[in-house]
Chains A and B, each alone.
Chain A
Amino acid sequence: MNLSLLIIIPLAAAIAVLLSRNGQQVKWISFLSSIAQLGLSLFLLSAFMSERANGNVSQMLFEQRYSWFAPLNIEYYIGVDGISISMILLTAFVVLAGVLMSWNIEKMTKEFYFLLLLLSLGAYGFFISLDLFTLFFFLEIAVIPKYLLIGIWGSGNKEYSANKLALMLMGGSALVLVGIFAVYFMSGIHSFDLLKLSEAHIAIDVQKIFFPMLFVGFGVFTAIFPFHTWVPDGHSSAPTAGSMFLAGISMKLGGYGCLRVATYLMPEAAKEYAPIIIILASIAILYGAFATMMQKDLKYINAYSSVSHCGFVLLGIGMLTKTSIEGAVMQMVSHGLMTALFFAVIGMIYERTHTRKVEELGGLLKIMPFVCSVLFIVGLCSLGLPGFSGFVAEMTVFMGSWQNPEMFYRIATIAACMSIVVTAVYILRAVGKTAMGPITNEHFLNLKDAAWNERLAAIVLVLGIVAIGIAPFWLSDLVSPGAELIVNKIAGVIIY
């Protein structure tokens, strides 16, 4: 299994898009490439599982390693474990759905798809990198396409949102950059190799300074409080596929980085700072949930609820138990699929009714049954109904959090649990008002239900959500060795 294909396929498709002649070609190239990406990641999953079944216990599989900038020991070094594979799967699902959802883009089609593919390339590269330089390289590659996607194809106050997003994310990656240098020089081994670095000992004083940098740096991507403000603006201004990519993939880059780089490389500091992370995460969860209650625009509702849901990711990481970290990863996957689907549905509704205001919508179930059924599914998933992925993931986080016996952790867990109630309120209100009740506008009567591309996109994502919801064990089995490794590392840590 050649992992580089995950980078080569989007790259080849992006170049092909640039060379293609018309919009039709562009769309089909992107579509085929995203099908290929999905196929490849499913194949990767099965290859990975069969390797593991055959008793291959090395930490990373399918490794590739080439020297890149020899004087600085920089390598193109890739490999995957269960955590990265679940992220890759998520990316592949969202990319396919995103490409399908942008089928009707008329303005600058070629550029649009080029940027989408570039973004997916960055995400894949980030998730498979085992070299900090390569990882950072791909992290930054994924920023600028978002800026252009929002700025050119967005709506509303798009330039402001695009600027804010780009600058805040770049600010995050600037902190990451400093952290990477510190790890490189202070570990004493002058290497960017993630596995080697995890074995090298970094002095606790150094960790105390640079762990927050790395964690907050990645945290900005995943909307850590108080650096979450780009999320509502960015999501609401972005075009449908842009929001899907942003919430579904881009926010996961941060969570993955917090886990794989910050926590994994500096476990002592992670333990030291865990209470602060938990407080910030709890604030994000509750604040996000309450802020959502006040929103009137469907996109803002989903954006603020993303802040709340991503809080669970950080909470799971901050709790530092095996189950909670597993839960964090599952929440990343679940939230990625769910929120992408939510934005897709909002996109479908907006494209037809030209409004996203909840109060102007109503009774859509009779007019577009498919769209509204999907809306129900995604709403129920978001509020954590059993049978969907949201329940599984949040439940795992809570279970993991409860394993911490101290009062402080218990209180934080209870506080986070309370957000579920709030979530139920805003989700049921928004979904109910949109789908049911009287038809608020007679123009709505002429609207059509979802087209083939929209149906396909929705079905792909619903399949993912249900697959995790009904049979969560394959995902948790996939994730748990990676989570265990991190926890063991922390358990072996002596606090000075």
Chain B
Amino acid sequence: MINELLLMKSELAVTAVIFILLFIKISDTTSNETVLKIVNALLLLNVAFGFCCMDTTGELFSGMFKTNALMSFEKNMLNIGTLLISLLSYEWLRNHRHLPEFFVLMLSSLLGMFFMISSGNFLIFYLGLELSTIPVAALCNFDMEKKQSSEAAMKMIMSSAFSSGILLFGISMMYGTTGTLSFAELPMLLTGSPLQVFSFILLFTGFAFKLSVVPFHLWTADVYEGSPVAVTSFLSVISKGSIVFIFLTTLYNAFAPMGEVWYNLIFLLSVATMIVGNLFALRQQNMKRFLAFSSIAQVGFILIGISGGGQNGTASSVYFMLVYIFSNLGAFGAVQLISSFSGKETIDSYKGLYQTNPLLSWVLTISLFSLAGIPPTAGFFGKFFLLASGAEKGNYILITIAALNMIVSLYYYLRVVRAIFMEKNEQPVAAIQGSIYEKAGLLICVAGIIAVGLYSHFYEYIYALSAF
């Protein structure tokens, strides 16, 4: 009994936090600041709890739910990301009317992701996926006064419903041709018949929508721009991370016999994603839109890592997600801090930021450099390993395109750096005094960006876990 509970410990812990929050909501007397204190403490506990008994391996519900050390680690990464988001959005949440609901929704979505990551069957996978997306649509609307926010929520729910529909269609056809929904049994029953390939492509499209792979990326920018920064960062980091993880599991295990098909698909889509994401990012003025397109381009790079397959493919993708959590949350954290103190979100308004907020500028710069893949930040190592994983297949056209795309991406990351350090501004953003939470959050991000790269044990650890 204890063992079975331990297998689901991450899920149970998150559920417990959700219940505590619901009780807090019912009592409805505590002030926002106290709630935030409690929530952050709980999330911290949740992270700490995640790291005990990590290497429990096993399955429940006759193979519907599986877990192993790698999955526990992935869940812990998402836990850390959620904690960071909660820390970084302190200023925005402090005055929010619906604080407990925010966390209930966010954690429900997280719970869905956990089930999705651990799923061993398309049914529970689909349940997890829906549980993870529907609350986020509500979260997108959390800037209650802004019209844009509602628009974002609408777009989010429409596009995710659409993609779920496609995914479900693919799953049902897959069931029709193979007679099974279990990931473990699927490889033996795949014959590569045209109908199966078709249903696989539908499934793949569903994933591509969630990952905002070009040409299924059109919802991303609008949703990212309209949503509150906290939700945007949740979408672009946590949500994307969970999809990458389950994508890896399904491709490498369930669809292993279809390697040829998915390799070609990934090749085409990653090239398109990198190029389109980068080209659109070039002209953006709004920081959130800018980060949205840059994160589309990042997905292109992750796809290269995934295309490598095997232990290297898993390790490099998971490692890159770890790097990405710290770098992207660092960038979003800085953007959020500036946005909630001064309301400014355009790149032009960042001019002269270094004069007033030197430390914050460095945090943002380091995060952007990490996203661009400049050493000694972790992004450099992450990108290097992704490309190394892709290069193993011997497809140097893909690698060359990716390497050239890194230059394009450097151009637009440097645009922000240039605005911060070099350009003058009559009215720069005033000096910002963040609370201890935000400082802690940004500090963790920067420490992560530096340490995860240079300290090689992180990668070696993930590599060892990826043997599953």
Complex partner residue of B414 from A71, A141, A147, A175, CB under 8 angstroms:
A147
Residues of A within 8 A of B410 (CB): 166-167, 170
A200 within 8 A of B: no
B384 within 8 A of A: yes
Cα separation A375 to B396 with both chains bound (whole Å): 49
Residue on B nearest A143 in the bound complex, by CB: B374
Q: List 23 A-B contacts (CB under 8 A).
A: A68-B456, A69-B460, A71-B312, A71-B315, A71-B459, A72-B385, A137-B375, A144-B374, A147-B414, A148-B417, A152-B421, A158-B422, A159-B423, A162-B418, A163-B414, A166-B414, A167-B407, A171-B407, A174-B404, A175-B403, A181-B391, A181-B396, A184-B391
Residues of B within 8 A of A67 (CB): 456
Cα separation A65 to B196 with both chains bound (whole Å): 51
Contact (Cβ within 8 A) B396 A167 = no
Residues of B within 8 A of A152 (CB): 421-422
Residue on A nearest B459 in the bound complex, by CB: A69
A140 within 8 A of B: yes
User: Interface code A107-138, partner B: CB below 8 Å = 1, 0 otherwise?
Assistant: 00000000000000000000000000100011
Contact (Cβ within 8 A) B456 A178 = no
Residues of A within 8 A of B404 (CB): 171, 174
Residues of A within 8 A of B384 (CB): 133, 177
B394 within 8 A of A: yes
Contact (Cβ within 8 A) A170 B406 = yes
A53 within 8 A of B: no
CB within 8 Å of A: which B361-379 residues: 369, 374-376
Given contacts A151-B421, A177-B384, A181-B391, 4 further A-B contacts (CB under 8 A): A69-B456, A167-B410, A171-B407, A182-B396
Contact (Cβ within 8 A) A140 B315 = no
Contact (Cβ within 8 A) B403 A151 = no
B136 within 8 A of A: no
Contact (A163, B460) CB under 8 Å given A140-B375, A177-B387, A181-B391:
no
The smallest C-beta distance from B274 to any residue of chain A, in angstroms, reads 13
Residues of A within 8 A of B391 (CB): 181-182, 184-185
Cα separation A70 to B456 with both chains bound (whole Å): 8
The smallest C-beta distance from B456 to any residue of chain A, in angstroms, reads 5
Contact (Cβ within 8 A) A163 B418 = yes
B388 within 8 A of A: yes
Residues of A within 8 A of B200 (CB): none
Contact (Cβ within 8 A) A144 B369 = yes
User: Interface code A168-201, partner B: CB below 8 Å = 1, 0 otherwise?
Assistant: 0011001101100110110000000000000000
Cα separation A164 to B404 with both chains bound (whole Å): 15
Cα separation A72 to B463 with both chains bound (whole Å): 10
Residue on B nearest A172 in the bound complex, by CB: B407
Residues of A within 8 A of B374 (CB): 140, 143-144
Complex partner residue of A151 from B312, B400, B411, B422, CB under 8 angstroms:
B422
Residues of B within 8 A of A166 (CB): 410, 414
Residues of B within 8 A of A185 (CB): 391-392, 394
Contact (Cβ within 8 A) B460 A151 = no
Binding site for B on A (CB under 8 A): 67-72, 74, 133, 137-138, 140-141, 143-144, 147-148, 151-152, 158-159, 162-163, 166-167, 170-171, 174-175, 177-178, 181-182, 184-185, 209
Cα separation A144 to B370 with both chains bound (whole Å): 12
Cα separation A485 to B44 with both chains bound (whole Å): 58
CB within 8 Å of A: which B412-430 residues: 414, 417-418, 421-423
Cα separation A159 to B424 with both chains bound (whole Å): 12
Cα separation A233 to B46 with both chains bound (whole Å): 54
Residue on B nearest A158 in the bound complex, by CB: B422
Residues of A within 8 A of B421 (CB): 148, 151-152
Cα separation A118 to B26 with both chains bound (whole Å): 55
The smallest C-beta distance from A18 to any residue of chain B, in angstroms, reads 10
Cα separation A182 to B398 with both chains bound (whole Å): 13
Dominant secondary structure at the A interface: helix
Cα separation A286 to B170 with both chains bound (whole Å): 64
The smallest C-beta distance from A149 to any residue of chain B, in angstroms, reads 11
Contact (Cβ within 8 A) A141 B376 = yes
Contact (Cβ within 8 A) A159 B460 = no
B380 within 8 A of A: yes
B399 within 8 A of A: yes
Residues of B within 8 A of A133 (CB): 384
Residues of A within 8 A of B399 (CB): 178, 181
Closest 9 CB pairs of A and B: A174-B403, A181-B391, A71-B463, A151-B422, A69-B456, A140-B375, A171-B407, A170-B407, A137-B375
Interface size class of B (residues with CB under 8 A): 35 or more
Residues of A within 8 A of B387 (CB): 177, 181
The smallest C-beta distance from A163 to any residue of chain B, in angstroms, reads 6
User: Interface code B257-278, partner A: CB below 8 Å = 1, 0 otherwise?
Assistant: 0000000000000000000000
Residue on A nearest B383 in the bound complex, by CB: A177
Residues of B within 8 A of A182 (CB): 391, 396
Cα separation A151 to B396 with both chains bound (whole Å): 34
The smallest C-beta distance from B393 to any residue of chain A, in angstroms, reads 9
Residues of B within 8 A of A171 (CB): 404, 407
Complex partner residue of A177 from B312, B369, B403, B411, CB under 8 angstroms:
B403
Cα separation A71 to B407 with both chains bound (whole Å): 27
Residues of A within 8 A of B392 (CB): 185
Cα separation A137 to B376 with both chains bound (whole Å): 8
Residue on A nearest B421 in the bound complex, by CB: A152
Residues of B within 8 A of A162 (CB): 418, 422
Cα separation A182 to B418 with both chains bound (whole Å): 34
Cα separation A143 to B369 with both chains bound (whole Å): 12
Cα separation A459 to B375 with both chains bound (whole Å): 35
Cα separation A110 to B403 with both chains bound (whole Å): 33
User: Interface code B422-460, partner A: CB below 8 Å = 1, 0 otherwise?
Assistant: 110000000000000000000000000000000010011
Residues of A within 8 A of B385 (CB): 69, 72
The smallest C-beta distance from A83 to any residue of chain B, in angstroms, reads 24
The smallest C-beta distance from B420 to any residue of chain A, in angstroms, reads 10
CB within 8 Å of A: which B296-337 residues: 311-312, 315
Residues of B within 8 A of A148 (CB): 417, 421
Contact (Cβ within 8 A) A159 B418 = yes
The smallest C-beta distance from A150 to any residue of chain B, in angstroms, reads 10
Cα separation A13 to B388 with both chains bound (whole Å): 34
Contact (Cβ within 8 A) B388 A72 = yes
The smallest C-beta distance from B399 to any residue of chain A, in angstroms, reads 5
Cα separation A171 to B391 with both chains bound (whole Å): 18
Residues of A within 8 A of B414 (CB): 147, 163, 166-167
Cα separation A74 to B391 with both chains bound (whole Å): 16
Cα separation A177 to B385 with both chains bound (whole Å): 12
Complex partner residue of B460 from A70, A137, A143, A209, CB under 8 angstroms:
A70
Cα separation A137 to B378 with both chains bound (whole Å): 11
Residues of A within 8 A of B422 (CB): 151-152, 158-159, 162
Residues of B within 8 A of A74 (CB): 456
Cα separation A268 to B77 with both chains bound (whole Å): 48
Residues of B within 8 A of A163 (CB): 411, 414, 418
Residues of A within 8 A of B381 (CB): 69
Residue on A nearest B385 in the bound complex, by CB: A72
The smallest C-beta distance from B173 to any residue of chain A, in angstroms, reads 38
Residue on B nearest A110 in the bound complex, by CB: B358
Cα separation A137 to B383 with both chains bound (whole Å): 12
Contact (A167, B411) CB under 8 Å given A72-B385, A181-B391, A185-B394:
yes
The smallest C-beta distance from B118 to any residue of chain A, in angstroms, reads 25
Cα separation A174 to B403 with both chains bound (whole Å): 5
Residue on A nearest B403 in the bound complex, by CB: A174
Cα separation A411 to B193 with both chains bound (whole Å): 65
Cα separation A70 to B462 with both chains bound (whole Å): 12
A143, A151, A158, A178 — most chain B CB neighbours (10 Å): A178
Cα separation A339 to B385 with both chains bound (whole Å): 38
Residue on B nearest A151 in the bound complex, by CB: B422
Residues of B within 8 A of A167 (CB): 407, 410-411, 414
Residues of A within 8 A of B396 (CB): 178, 181-182, 209
